[in-house]
Structure 1
């Protein structure tokens, strides 16, 4: 019932459409039920009265029937057209809510869930829900109207025959309910298996360059074939169950006609029923059986839609790890003083990645984090914009606990340049403007100049309107990196995080980007994560972090003279420490 209540709430914005759709359904049902009654009236009161009465009356009844079917035409059009539009609008609303929920969920959710499966829930599942939203109430409402209406009229025609009919129908309903309970699990399994197909497809296409570089096309085919065959097996299982379900119900429908013909024949032989009344009775039987078949056929649609909505609700009910306090205040006039106080962090139930880390970064200072992979450098930086929340301890900016400020204002105060740059499908201008949605063309050009990328952009045929391709495939690593730096220039944040921004670049690209980063970090509080120690020699402070926490801190020269972890890393990279580095302070 809870799932049903949550489903019904999506009808609320379209109540007028829904009620009109139901009114049209009533009219269509009344017209269908009235035809045998009109035929019965003509048979008793017109066709038996002679030629003149027939000629006098038939035109009137013909015009009345034509009027009824013209009204039915418009009602059927509304049901088919606007009923589907209502379902499509509800689907769009659900897709909007699901996408909003995706945006609300934190990094930890995406660490555990595959993009392909999430896309399956956004596309495949919601289509089935849309069909259920439209056809569900309409099919159920029309079918029950016709079943109840035809049953009442059948009782008026012949009570014993109708009671026998009711007994067969009861057996049919009990059988349908039992089979439906079994089919529910099968259709839910269908949704899971098609999500795995989408997952396999997304992984293979997203990594197509890696696939081809390792000549692993056959391995990818095998992986996809397995998920595809699993889905096929699940579908085959559901169709076998449906085959038995529909075949048995078809048999029961035929049984209804057999029962009526046998009991009707006996009634005619006994003189309690005429042949004409039996024909009228059979017309009503057709009206009685047809909605039963509609409900039976609707079962597949219902189970698919229900399974899809259940998976939709699983995501909608997921509580984001990162939530904003109701009384959170915006972070304003940011100077950029950062302090990590006894910060510890772990992913789920894993061991601590960070333990009791305490670091204070004064306003405008450039601090570098170095250390072995897995030591927690990137994790520490991810805690600052609240991509994850600390397990213990506090992080403050200008003395404000970051959990007490709004997420938008916090993240707007921080600019991040990463090693793995993501380019959105679109133009160069659109990708730079991602740093500031309402930026003018002049602002975008100035940001590009600051990032040393303007001349390259102007050398392209379409300049700033050049399409970058999916994930920026038409650009080199250095070009994408400079575009990402232009984004941050446009954003103009007081705090900057450089996460190995030059580690994957050639020397010439690194020189350009180091110049850009030097401009970008000027007068900003900057945190640099770097493995190339040559890029951080001029940092105000270097902090060495391992899985045991902060091990060393000081300037480049101080750490070299200390002859500890940092000196060892520096020696490994440069094959011997220059004696000039070992000078007293």
Structure 2
């Protein structure tokens, strides 16, 4: 944009000066150039605006082509396993062909602009020289005036062409940035309420009051959901996939706002506290943790960015990831790759657990935190989690019931509703989903009562 400003201002001043000089030599020459400048500028603006939709189309096809390529590369393992290389190559070739067609159409219209621009320049040059020749025959102009007019026109034409080129560059940049600008214009769905206050967690008591929520219209995830978790209580959510277990944690972290009802922590409605303080009070270990392409030390320290190196190492030891970190050539300085691809699933989960241990928040949420661990590693992590859970309000989501047997309460969710609530010893004696799941996972060793 700065380049356009630097091009337009000198051109404007030059054009005004030349028109003034020509007017002083002869009003006909000045008026003719002024009219031509108005026509030239108007046509340029009209043509540039006309071609803009074609630039938008080309930019859109370029984004789609990049998306097709990124999708294929990020799913390289699946493509290989299903012999999909020819198919993906065909998809990418189709995307490239569509981009080529759209880009060619934009270039063709751009060429038309250059053609119109060239015609107008030749026309005004010839017309003004013809007028000047007629005036010279009448003795109103001299040979020096001819040289002056031609020199002025050539300088003006050069500057106009440069300014037009910069204008087209700007419109090209606008076309390429339009998609991103549209994304940036989308308002945040979840934001701090006016006058929101920081959340100060004392006991860590959590209460869901008549919470209703749906991801899409007509697809209700939770309906009039009520739940009370006392401070320091360890609660597990179990149930089939899609029952609403992860939804409960996402609403607690306020990744989404509820459609109806409210969620409270220590009596404070989380919709009226700052998002930063809310999430600072909760340590979350996801099922599939994603790491930064940074060192292991930085990834663990992200739980508490002012932690010392010794505190990071202590957290890593409690999460039983210190052992494999020290075997790496660069130890804690090892970079883990984009999204942590250089580590196994179990190693990533242990890093995520170490991060949560370091954060030491009063509320702990574990979403299948040991799902990627082998039995030996899981046993070690369970010991670390027992230490981590002390004095905290804990919510655990699990499919393997063996990992939640020692919880204070086990809540069974089905279709967004609580169908059972109690301790492990109580639930296995009752007919219902929990007993069925336990019998399946335990190999049927329980006897029917």
User: Smaller-chain TM-score range?
Assistant: over 0.9
> Which of 420, 426, 431 is 1:563 aligned to?
431
By how many angstroms is 1:432 displaced?
0.6
CA apart distance, 1:513: 2.4
Contact 2:366–2:396 at 8 Å: present in 1 too?
yes
Specify the alignment match of 1:186 in structure 2: 54
Partner of 1:158: 26
Counterparts of 1:174 and 1:476, CA distance in 2: 62
Give 2:294's match in structure 1, choosing from 411, 417, 426.
426
Aligned equivalent of 1:274:
142
1:309: how far off?
5.5
Per the alignment, residue 332 of structure 1 pairs with 200
Match of 1:446 in 2: 314
After superposition, the C-alpha distances for 1:94-120 in whole angstroms (9 at most, x for unaligned) are xxxxxxxxxxxxxxxxxxxxxxxxxxx
Q: CA deviation at 1:430?
A: 0.8
2:370 to 492, 502, 507: 502
Task: Name which of 380, 390, 393 aligns with 1:525.
Answer: 393
Look up the SS of the partner of 2:156 in the other structure.
helix
Report the CA distance shift for 1:455/1:506 in structure 2 as closer, same or farther (over 3 A): closer
CA contact (8 A) 1:157 1:281 kept: no
How large is the RMSD of aligned CA atoms in angstroms? 1.9
Higher deviation after alignment, 511-520 or 416-425: 511-520
Alpha-carbon offset, residue 308 of structure 1: 4.7
Q: How does 1:532-547 map to 2 (within 5 A)?
A: 532-547=400-415
What's the counterpart of residue 303 of structure 2? 435
Match of 1:221 in 2: 89
Q: Tell me how far apart the structure 1 counterparts of residues 358 and 372 of structure 2 sit (CA, whole Å).
A: 24
1:317 aligned to which of 178, 185, 188: 185
Shift of 1:212: 3.0
The alpha carbon displacement at 1:228 in A equals: 2.5
Query: Which secondary structure state, in structure 2, belongs to the residue aligned with residue 497 of structure 1?
Result: strand
1:363-383 deviation digits (Å, cap 9, x = unpaired) = 111111111111111011110
Contact in 1 for aligned 2:4/2:163 (Cα 8 Å): no
Q: Distance in 2 between matches of 1:178 and 1:503?
A: 61
Q: What residue number does 1:254 align with?
A: 122
1:147 to 8, 11, 15: 15
What secondary structure, in the 3-state scheme, does the structure 1 residue paired with 2:302 have?
helix
Match for 1:287 among 155, 158, 163?
155
* Post-superposition offset of 1:555: 1.1
Q: Is the 8 A contact 2:349 2:372 kept in 1?
A: no
TM-score (norm 2): 0.94
Q: 1:506, CA displacement in angstroms?
A: 2.5
Q: Kindly indicate whether residue 416 of structure 2 is the aligned counterpart of residue 554 of structure 1.
A: no
Structure 1 match to 2:351: 483
Secondary structure of 2:288's counterpart equals coil
1:465 is displaced (CA, Å) by 1.2
Q: CA, structure 1 residues 312+503, in 2 after alignment: closer, same or farther (shift >3 Å)?
A: closer
Shift of 1:348: 4.0
Match of 2:240 in 1: 372
Q: Residues 547 and 450 (structure 1 numbering): CA distance in 2 closer, same or farther, change over 3 Å?
A: same
Distance 1:371 1:333, change over 3 A: closer
2:384 to 492, 511, 516: 516
Is contact 2:316-2:354 (8 Å) kept?
Answer: yes
Question: Do 1:485 and 1:516's aligned partners in 2 also have CA atoms closer than 8 Å?
Answer: no
| Maintained 8 Å contact 2:20/2:30 | no
Q: What is the rounded CA distance, in whole Å, between the counterparts of 2:373 and 2:90 in structure 1? A: 35
Distance 1:406 1:202 in 2: 36
How far does residue 426 in structure 1 lie from its aligned partner after superposition?
1.4
Contact 2:55-2:175 at 8 Å conserved across structures? yes
Inter-partner Cα distance in structure 2 for 1:461 and 1:181: 58
State the alpha-carbon separation in 1 of the partners of residues 236 and 361 from structure 2: 18
Evaluate the alpha carbon distance shift between residue 309 and residue 215 of structure 1 in structure 2; reply closer, same or farther with a 3 A threshold.
Answer: closer
- How far residue 254 of structure 1 moved from its aligned partner, in angstroms, is 1.0
Match of 1:461 among 320, 329, 335: 329
CA displacement at 1:311 relative to structure 2 = 4.2
Look up the SS of the partner of 1:395 in the other structure: strand
Counterpart-to-counterpart distance in 1, 2:416 and 2:185: 37
Distance 2:156 2:292 in 1: 57
| 3-state SS in 2 of match to 1:471 | coil
Deviation of 1:307 (Å) = 3.2
TM-score (norm 1): 0.73
Using the TM superposition, give the Cα deviation of residue 195 of structure 1 relative to its aligned residue in structure 2, in angstroms: 2.1
Alpha-carbon distance in structure 1 between the residues aligned to 2:218 and 2:107: 43
Select the structure that is richer in helix.
1
Match of 2:339, SS state, is helix
Secondary structure in structure 1 of the residue aligned to 2:83: coil
**1:32 aligned residue:** none
Summarize deviations over 1:27-49 as a string: whole Å, max 9, x none: xxxxxxxxxxxxxxxxxxxxxxx
Number of aligned residue pairs: give it.
449
| CA drift at 1:279 | 0.9
